[in-house]
Amino acid sequence: ILDVFERNVTVPTSEVTLYSTHASSVAGATFDKDLIKYARFTNLDETNFIDLRITNENNDEFVYRVYALQTFVLHSHVGSMNATENAAAGLPNGDIISVEAQANTAACSVEIFVASA
């Protein structure tokens, strides 16, 4: 691990982008998808849940609910996400290109931790 990004953000009840990826090294809340080794999202709220929406380059997406005081972890972002219909068609797994979040009834504080090579 050569680079670490850690931030607490307030996630409102409307969907916001936590970070996105790109094919080459960039700065801020955009990461080189080839270098991400680990991403962790911790819902610091004691009452409300958040929904994480993870999208790949094929526009496949899934939503994972992170309840109060729980954590969700993603590992490599390259070739790690595929929809059932794409797999059945023999299409390659897609690279994760964005992670969005939305709180359910009130804004939640969320810790984001991304480790890259």
Task: Give the pLDDT of residue 85.
Answer: 64
Q: Which structure tokens are listed for 64?
A: 């994972």
pTM: 0.85
The type of residue at 10 is T
Rounded Cα–Cα distance for residues 95 and 31 (Å): 12
* Ordered per-residue pLDDT tens for the chain, 117 residues: 888 999 999 999 999 999 988 766 555 567 888 889 999 999 999 999 999 999 988 888 889 999 999 999 998 888 767 666 666 666 667 889 999 999 999 999 999 999 998
Q: What is the pLDDT of residue 28?
A: 57
